[in-house]
Structure formats: C-alpha cells, structure tokens
Structure 1
Amino acid sequence: MTLLIAAVIVLITLGITYWASSSTRSASDFYVAGGRITAWQNGVAIAGDYMSAASFLGITGLIALNGYDGFMYSVGWFVAYLTVLFVVAEPLRNLGKYTLADMLVYRLRDPRVRTYAAVSTLVISAFYMIAQVVGAGSLITLLSGGVLKPELSIPLVGVLMITYVVFGGMLATTWVQIVKAVLLMIGTVIMSVLILNRFGWSFSDLLGQVEARNGAEFLGAGVKYKNPIDLISLGMALVLGTAGLPHILVRFYTVPTAQDARKSVVWAMGIIGAFYVMTSLLGNAANVLVGKTAIEAANKAGNMAAPLLAEFLGGQLFLAFISAVAFATILAVVAGLTITASTSFAHDIYNGVMRRGEASSDEQVRVARIATVTIGVVACFLGYLAQSFNVAFLVALAFAVAASANLPVILLTLFWRRFNATGAIWGIVGGILTCLLLIAVSPNIMKVDAPDVKPAARHLVQANALFPLENPGIVSIPAGFLFAFLGSMVGARNRRPDEEAAFEAMQFRAYTGHGVDGSVAHD
C-alpha cells in the first residue's frame, strides 16, 4: 500500500515535470521559471521547500526523544522568517536576477565576489541535501521492511530529483513543492486531530502523560543540551540562518515584483507557523504512544518517530499515506536544493567567471543540467556516509554555515557604506572555515568524555572534542561579521571613488524598485 501511494505521488510529480519541460526553454525559465510564479504559489512553494525531512521526520523525533530541547528547532525555524520578511526579501528581489551572488555583485562590482558566493551556495546546499538523502534512506528502508537498503533507496531518490530538475527546471520544482506542501499539511492536520481526540482535546493532558512517563525535567531545557550555551548557539543558527539559505533566497526571483516577494513570505509564514505548532503535538504524542524504545529501535536518531506514530494512530493505511508524503517531502526539497546549486554553478561560476558573461542561454542550461547530475551523484554518496545522523541536526549545521558566511555579507552589503569586495570575500571564507573547523572538532565528530553523556556510534574521531558545543553558531556567526569587517578595513586602501555613489544607488533601487525591469531582466 505504501509503495502504491508513493508511486502515485511520484507519477503526479513526473507528470508535472513533463508539463513544465515544454515551458522551460531559456536560462531564465530554467533558473527562476521566468519570474512568472504568483505570490501565493511562491509562498506555498517556500513552505514546501522549508518543511523538509528535517522538519517532519527530524523534529518529531527530536521532540519525542528530547522534549523541550527538540521543540527549540521548531521555534527557531519559524521565528527566522521575520528576518527574511523585514530585511532580505524585497532588496534581494530588486537587486538580483538569479542568485545571491547577483545582489552582491550589483553593489560591490567585483567578479571575485561571485565566485566565493557560489562556493558558499554549494557548501550550504551540500549540508542541507545530505540531510534529505539520509531521511530518504531511513524512510524507504523502513517501509520496504529492510528489502530496499540505503544502497538502493538513496540512488532512487537521486534519480528522481535529477529528473525533476534536468527536465522541468524551476517551474517543475515549484509545483512539486506546492503539491508536497499541501499533502504534508493534510497529513499533519489529520495526525494532530487524531492525537487531540485521543487525549481529550487537551494539550495539557498530553504533556501530563509525557511528564509521568519521562519526569518533569523532560519538559524543560537540558535533556539533549546539557550546556545552556549550546541551546543559545543552536537558536542563533536557526533564527539567523534562514536569511542566508540560498535555496530559500532564490525563490524571491521567481515572482514578478518585490511586493510579490514580501507577500509570498507572509503566505509561507502562515503555513510554516501552523506546521511547527503541530510538530509539538506529533513529537510528544510519539513519546507517549510509541515510546522512546520503539522509536530508537527503528532509527537511533529518531527519524522514524512520525511514521511509527502514524501507524499507531491509523494503522497500515495511514502509515502508508504519511510515509508516502514524507517521501514526497524529501523529493521536493532535494529538487529545490539541486536546482539552486546547479544554477549557482552554471550562472555564477561558468557564465559569470569562466565565460565572463558571454555564455548563451542554451549553453547555460546545458551546463546547469550537467551540474545537476553531478551534484545529485555527490549528494547521494555523502548521504550514504552520514546515515547515523539525525536529519534535523544536519540541517541545523547548514543553517550555522549560512548564518556565518552569507548573512553577515548580505547585511553589510545592504547597510554599511564602507563595505567592499575584500570584506565580502573575507566574510564568506572566514565564516565557512570557522564554522566547518568548529564542527570538525565538536562533539558531532569527536567524542565527549563525560559520565552523563552516552557514547555515540557516529563519532568519526575517537578523541575528546576540542570545542564543547554541538552547534558552532554562537562563535562562527560573530566570526563571520568580524572577518567581513577586517576584510573591509584591509580593502579600504583600494577604495574606488565611485563606491559612495554606488552605495546610494544600490539603496535607492533596493527599497524603491526603481530601475528594475518588469520581470527578472535586471541591469
């Protein structure tokens, strides 16, 4: 039954891809659907892109196993959209064309910035994509009763995501995300209604049973993050990281105007907010009804809590539907990540740097499709190696990289008149390297020698961690700003005489839209 429902969803999305392929002719069509997506469509697609396997599978599992600490993921990811709405959406749409690098180069006028921004996009997309592939492997293995091992299930996801992007471009990706968002909300609402009905329509009763089963401390901070600084660091990464995620930012180029970009964020926030409230119901109900032992038996990281809860609430048929929806969730998100990464390579690195802007539209699309296949293969390989990680945790690391490398550069580009290309390069490189270095010497990779910490099989280095926090955001985000500042000071000696006028012109265009052509054809 599960395979049948999943097959129906796949056929629907492949049908969308076939339809979209006839409308995907130029580079603009492939990259941003020609800027023809409406505000509500883009808002639902953003929600579909954002409510990933990390949200549905990962957060539910984290709440079920860790209580309050797991719910902080939901809070952080929802609050993050306030930064996107009030700071990023409109100026990004008015200044850019296809990628984040377009906006930076419009202000800084240095082709080197395009290269480093593209590298940042590829690194962040890789982290995020690994999480989705890990979720896909766990889910399909569970649903097939162990017949389809990750060696087969992960390449299956890779083939489908490559198909969506290669043939349908951004238009197909957008509609796949819309379909997925609708299905996921339907499934989550049904599960929430069944949960509330079982607990007398009282969330307090549910939490009371959670407390009775796990103790009062489970409903407070400290179950997963013994160090409160770690929880603060996680919150910083989640709240600030969204405004630097390339696959979210690129969606603002798919709408006709900056006003539509803002409206689409409002649509997305409504859907995302409702979803994340319901994750608290799902996670706590899984803890009570399924139990931590059964959840960890299915997957040590807790990624299967939501499907197991669906089986408990509605039997095999409901498990089949929820699992198929989770599969669709993964397909939609990896498609969005893949097209973002391939667009960045084709538009920024190939056309902008290697061909100095001289590549034809057909040539760019061909390179983007080749990049899509390459990125898909690499993502599947890395996802296979990272199977023991919780998917929400992996995505949180992607948010930390985005908040450390991209956000400082975006904010300083928009608001600091002395910011320059050297500062942007230092900020991107410094933010990425600081973040990756701290992750490499953290408890994620190295073990923790403490009596109250269980040893984890996922440790790649059997030595005590040098950095005590699981998420590096509290250090790496300020470091990104510091590197950007220091780079700007170093680059000040080469300051061009027109930089002051360029900043004034950038701000005028960013907040008025003056000079922006009617669709996506910018200066």
Structure 2
Amino acid sequence: MSEGLGSPVLNITVFAGFIAITLFVVYRVSHRNTTTSDYYAAGSAFTGSQNGVAITGDYLSAASFLGIAGAIAVHGYDGFLYSIGFLVAWLVALLLVAELVRNTGRFTMGDVLAYRMRQRPVRAAAATSTLVISFFYMLAQMAGAGGLIALLLNVHDKAGQAVVICVVGLIMIFYVLVGGMKGTTWVQIIKATMLVLCVVLMTVFLLGKFGFSITALLDDAAANNANGRQILEPGAQYSTAISKLDFISLSLALILGAAGLPHVLMRFYTVPNANQARRSVVWAVGMMAVFYLATLVIGYGASALVGSDKILASTGKENSAAPLLAFEIGGTFLLGIVSAVAFATILAVVAGLTITASASFAHDVYANIFRRGRADPASEVRVARLTAVVVGILAIVGGILANGQNVAFLVSLAFAFAASANLSTLLYSLFWRRFNTRGTLWGMYGGLGSCLLLVMVSPVVSGAPTSIFPGADFQLFPLSNPGLVSIPISFLAGFLGTVLSRERTDRVKQAEMEVRSLTGLGA
C-alpha cells in the first residue's frame, strides 16, 4: 500500500481532540502534586474499581490492540496465544502478589524488595531492573505509534515517522511532568473505557456483517489468508521444533511476567488498602477478558475482510490490521475513532511507564541511595520530573530504531525481563524467610543479565529478515524469547546466592514484614 487511509485531516482532528481533552483533565487534577505521595501514588485516593479500570488502561497497550489483532489476522490461532498468556498472567498477580505488595511497599517495587535487606544495593538493583523493563516496554509503544501514524497520515519515509514518534514522546513527557500519577491515572481510565467500548462495538458490528455466524467469519478468514485453513488450528506460526520451543518460552514469559512489571506493581499503591488492591485486579481481569475475546473476532475479521496479503503490504504491517479493518467496515469516520483510541493507548501506556521509571530513580536511587532517606519531598519530585524527561528522550530514540517490529512481540520481551529480574526476588522476599541481600542481588542481576545477553545474541537483534539489524548476523541463541532459560536462571541464582551466603537474616525485620504483608498493619 502506497497511500494512507481515510482523511489525514479528519485523523489529525480526532487526535488533536483527544489530546486536548486529556491535557485539560491532566491540568485540572494536577493542582496538588507537591508531595511524593501525590506525585507517585496519587495520594492513594483511588477506589478499587477506578484503579481496576486504570490497570486495564496501563496493561492494554499498543501490543494488545494493534499487535495481537495483527498476529491473529496473519497467523490465526497462534496469534491468539498472546491473548491467553496476557490474561492468564493476572491469576499470578491476583493470587500471589497484589495484596502483599500493597501492604508491604509505599511507592515502588524497591520498597518491597529492600524492606528487610540492605537498602542501598537492593534499591540500586530494583531501579536498574525497572528502568530496563520500562525501556523495552516503551520501545513497543513507540514502534506502534510510528506505524499507526504513518498509515493514517500518509507518512511513509523513515524521517517522517521519526518526527511522529518524537511528537508522541513529547506529549507523553508533558502528561507526566504536569499530571503526575493522578493525571496519568485519569488518562488511563479515559483510555481504557474508550478502548473496551471501541473493540466491543467493532466486534458486534463485525459479527453483524456475517449474520452473527462465527463459522461464516472463520471460513472467510481462512479463504482470505495466505496460510489458508491452517490459521484455524495450531501451527501456522509455530510449526518447527525450534519455533515450538520458542512458543513455550513466550508463554512462560507472558504468564509469569505481569506480576513483575514495575508499572503494574506501582498501580497497587494508588488505592488506600489491600482489599481495594484485590478489587482492582478483579475489575481489571473482567475488563481484559472482554477485550481479549473481542480481539479474537477483530483479528479473524481483519483476515476475512482485509486479507493477510494486504495487511503485510501496508506501512505498519501486522500492526495495521485493526485500522485497516475499521476502514473496511466503517469508512473514514470509524477509522478516525479507532485510530484515536489506538493513539490514546500508546500515549497512556508510555506515560504510565515513564512515571514508574522516574519514580524508581528518584525514590530508590536519589532519595534512598544518594541522600540516604533524607531527601525533602520537593527535591525528590523535581528529580522525578527531570528523570521523566531523560527517559522520554531515550524512549523516542529507541522507538525510532524499533519502528516496524510487531509490537506484541516487543512487549513479550519486556515480560521476559520482568519475569526474569523481578518475579523470583519478589516471591522469595515475600514467602522465604531465609532469603537475604545476596540472594536478592544474584536473582535480579542474574535474571536481568542473562535475559539481556540472550536477547542481544538472538534473532531479535540480528540474523533474520525481521531483526532490528537485518544486515548483521551475530546470532548465537536460537529462541526469540529468552524466558525459558533466563527465568529459571533467576530463581536458581536467587536460591544459590542465599544458601551460599553467610549473611544472617534480620529475624525482627522478617517477622515485621510477614505480619505487615498479611495483615496490612502499618501499611
């Protein structure tokens, strides 16, 4: 496809309208952002239902809306496996993490991990992990922004797409600087509501075109797909021995990664107590279940009405399936609405990631390592805002480099990092009395380092046509997702670091943490 879709003027108008509304909301709710509690956790003033909708907004990223719909449209059943992994992951968060993290911490994941450990090295490790995971997650959102806007505004050269990514990054930085967590949360709530309503209406409209017959929809999808009826069963994407192993690795990363995502964990601090944190997850799971079922219909609908060849030939490739389908069934107007929702998705998620990364650096590194817990709130918030600018600029540069990659796949890498670096140490800290500082450091750095090393020498970076650097080849590791290797390494490293250390566990702190995590006393 060489031209854009619909009316660029209408698309820009819809984008500008959404940005104007959300900027107004952010400005109105940001009048009290002077304390660290206001800026990082919105004063813990949100209800469970509000936070559940915001978690949905934080979690349903460009990967969910653009990447998964595209993966289903092109690969069928194998693409839907992303949806299953993303949704099932919340059972781990609900049953093992949400309530305990809310009771134990205050603003960041580092608060939980450092509670009964030596503060400085553990907070440094937690901040490093948070920044790396946030960066990889942002790559996906920025790449999605580049492809989406290129399709809608008829911007096909790399330089033009780079400008678009810069604009997205600058707007996101403004959200965070002005609104803090409160403003960002309201943007998430608006975005999540729009997104779920949009996919439900598209699904109903799409099913109506096929007489509400799922069979007719699937038959047309298979007929208009290069893989034929193979998209209705496993194997269209994961057919070889290596690709099946890659799928197992991907599934492990998706299911275990959500409970270790720093921007998701930070959401639990915006509610007043553990009961509301639990309620948040229940609300989020309900909304996500509706969303992911809708993406199944939208993905197969895109295959049926647009066709896999046309999707792959478009500017955004797989990421363009949902916008192309919107244009097919509702013309320019529906395309403008869907595009605005997708754009809102990208802006809101990147804003959430940015505030998490900046809070982790300001709270864990600046306030607790450099200032040894004696930083005043105003200077800490100032450092957080400065960090947000730096993180935003890095995200813009990374997004320009990653432009064109499937965003669902890029997010799965962030999940692998989260599961490798954070999940093992969180679970050990909360449930293993003997766990100590060395175990924490070995687990986090072992998981993070092995994951980063395996990604660098995998087909993601070089050695394949879809690599970030397709012209180079220094591939040594055959799997695109490293979770199958790096996640066990992190659990093993945390265990060995603990049992091989002579460090004594602080029994008083450990007992205090156990009581606090289970009861909420002192939270």
Identify the residue that residue 519 of structure 2 maps to in structure 1.
512
Matched, 1:221 2:234: yes
Is the contact between residue 69 and residue 231 of structure 1 (CA under 8 Å) also seen in structure 2?
Answer: no
Residue 125 of structure 1: how far off its partner (Å)? 0.2
Counterparts of 1:97-108 in structure 2, within 5 Å, are 97-108=106-117
Matched residues in 2 for 1:326 and 1:215: separation?
29
Is the contact between residue 20 and residue 169 of structure 1 (CA under 8 Å) also seen in structure 2?
Answer: no
Letter matched to residue 160 of structure 2: K
Residue 457 of structure 1: how far off its partner (Å)? 6.0
Identify the residue that residue 220 of structure 2 maps to in structure 1.
209
Letter matched to residue 425 of structure 1: L
Residue 222 of structure 1: how far off its partner (Å)? 2.4
1:480 to 462, 487, 490: 490
Identify the residue that residue 131 of structure 1 maps to in structure 2.
140
Range with greater deviation from structure 2 (197-206 or 423-432) = 197-206
Matched residues in 2 for 1:348 and 1:81: separation?
26
**CA deviation digits over 1:31-82, x for unaligned, max 9?**
0101111111100000001111010001111111111111000000001001
Letter matched to residue 504 of structure 1: A
Indicate the SS of the match to 1:224. coil
Is the contact between residue 155 and residue 161 of structure 2 (CA under 8 Å) also seen in structure 1?
Answer: no
Is the contact between residue 40 and residue 355 of structure 2 (CA under 8 Å) also seen in structure 1?
Answer: yes
Identify the residue that residue 35 of structure 2 maps to in structure 1.
26
Indicate the SS of the match to 2:473. strand
**CA deviation digits over 1:240-272, x for unaligned, max 9?**
000000000000000000000000100100001
Residue 141 of structure 1: how far off its partner (Å)? 1.6
1:385 to 401, 426, 449: 401
Residue 465 of structure 1: how far off its partner (Å)? 3.2
Range with greater deviation from structure 2 (141-150 or 361-370) = 141-150
Matched, 1:394 2:410: yes
Counterparts of 1:247-396 in structure 2, within 5 Å, are 247-299=263-315, 301-396=317-412
Letter matched to residue 428 of structure 1: M
Matched residues in 2 for 1:464 and 1:514: separation?
53
Residue 151 of structure 1: how far off its partner (Å)? 2.1
Matched, 1:468 2:487: no
Matched residues in 2 for 1:282 and 1:357: separation?
50
Identify the residue that residue 521 of structure 1 maps to in structure 2.
none
Letter matched to residue 187 of structure 1: C
Residue 447 of structure 1: how far off its partner (Å)? 2.2
Matched residues in 2 for 1:461 and 1:33: separation?
46
Identify the residue that residue 62 of structure 2 maps to in structure 1.
53
Identify the residue that residue 3 of structure 2 maps to in structure 1.
none
Is the contact between residue 460 and residue 467 of structure 2 (CA under 8 Å) also seen in structure 1?
Answer: no
Identify the residue that residue 6 of structure 2 maps to in structure 1.
none
Letter matched to residue 516 of structure 2: R
Identify the residue that residue 232 of structure 1 maps to in structure 2.
248
Counterparts of 1:422-433 in structure 2, within 5 Å, are 422-433=438-449
Letter matched to residue 28 of structure 1: S
Is the contact between residue 150 and residue 316 of structure 2 (CA under 8 Å) also seen in structure 1?
Answer: no
1:44 to 49, 53, 75: 53
Letter matched to residue 150 of structure 1: Q
Residue 225 of structure 1: how far off its partner (Å)? 2.4
Matched, 1:161 2:172: yes
Matched residues in 1 for 2:475 and 2:381: separation?
44
Question: Is there any run of 5+ residues in structure 1 with no aligned partner, and where?
Answer: 449-454, 517-523
**CA deviation digits over 1:379-409, x for unaligned, max 9?**
0011101112111110000000000110000
Matched residues in 1 for 2:337 and 2:478: separation?
41
1:87 to 84, 87, 96: 96
Matched residues in 1 for 2:233 and 2:476: separation?
27
Letter matched to residue 329 of structure 2: L
Question: Is there any run of 5+ residues in structure 2 with no aligned partner, and where?
Answer: 1-9
Indicate the SS of the match to 1:303. helix
Indicate the SS of the match to 2:319. coil
**CA deviation digits over 1:86-126, x for unaligned, max 9?**
11011100100000000111132432101100100000000
Letter matched to residue 164 of structure 2: S
Indicate the SS of the match to 1:201. coil
Indicate the SS of the match to 1:463. coil
Moved over 6 A (4+): none
Identify the residue that residue 445 of structure 1 maps to in structure 2.
461
Matched residues in 1 for 2:408 and 2:383: separation?
32
Letter matched to residue 90 of structure 2: Y
Cα RMSD after superposing both structures:
1.4
Residue 459 of structure 1: how far off its partner (Å)? 3.9
Identify the residue that residue 5 of structure 2 maps to in structure 1.
none
Letter matched to residue 494 of structure 2: A
- The 3 A distance-change label for structure 1 pair 165 and 112 is same
Matched residues in 2 for 1:210 and 1:380: separation?
36
Range with greater deviation from structure 2 (199-208 or 410-419) = 199-208
Matched, 1:11 2:20: yes
Matched residues in 2 for 1:433 and 1:113: separation?
16
- Paired positions, count: 507
Identify the residue that residue 520 of structure 1 maps to in structure 2.
none
